């Protein structure tokens, strides 16, 4: 599996991903908003977050570029709005890499099952690089 680039935006992700699709001549992207996610009564979604893009992806010349708006209240620094996504079918390797990178880093979400993956987590490593780990569904 490849390591994919993940780009974060400050409320204008839909505009950006549509623009890049046009520039690179890809298919129009599918867009999942935060409002499309299953509701969680423990964490009610603020109304102003519902139309923000949670996830979109383009395949540009055989490379996956993924996109998301930052969630409300998350810090956004233009120029530092990039991360890496490791997606694999090898659950043991995901766990091993995640555990190694969290040493000296900051875990934002421990590896856990989500509605889109049986194992997902994200962290910032000791060098300040944002990583997302996700088990690729069959």
pTM score, two decimals?
0.74
- Find tokens 């996830």 and name the residue: 55
Q: How large is the average pLDDT for residues 103-132?
A: 91
- Find tokens 């930052």 and name the residue: 70
Tell me what pLDDT residue 1 has.
62
24-27 contacts: CB < 8 A, separation 24 or more? 24/58, 24/60, 24/61, 26/58, 26/59, 26/60
pLDDT band at 3 (very low <50, low <70, confident <90, very high): confident
Question: Quick count: other Cβ atoms within 10 Å of Cβ 55?
Answer: 20
Three-class DSSP category at 118: coil
Reported as a single tens digit per residue, the pLDDT across 12-60 is: 999 999 999 998 899 999 999 999 999 888 889 999 999 999 999 999 8
**Is residue 39 classed exposed, middle or buried when 0-12, 13-18 and 19+ CB atoms within 10 A define those classes?**
exposed
Tell me what pLDDT residue 138 has.
64
Q: Indicate whether 68 pLDDT > 90.
A: yes
């Amino acid at each position: 599996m490849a390591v994919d680039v993940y780009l974060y935006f400050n409320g204008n992700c839909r505009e950006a991903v549509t623009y890049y699709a046009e520039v690179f001549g890809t298919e129009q992207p599918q867009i999942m908003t935060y409002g499309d996610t299953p509701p969680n009564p423990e964490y009610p979604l603020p109304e102003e977050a519902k139309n923000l893009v949670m996830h979109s992806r383009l395949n540009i010349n055989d490379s996956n570029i993924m996109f998301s708006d930052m969630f409300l209240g998350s810090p956004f620094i233009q120029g530092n709005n990039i991360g890496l996504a490791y997606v694999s079918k090898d659950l043991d390797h995901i766990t091993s890499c995640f555990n190694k990178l969290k040493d000296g880093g900051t875990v934002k979400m421990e590896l856990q099952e989500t509605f889109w993956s049986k194992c997902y987590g994200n962290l910032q490593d000791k060098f300040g690089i944002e990583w997302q780990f996700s088990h690729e569904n069959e």
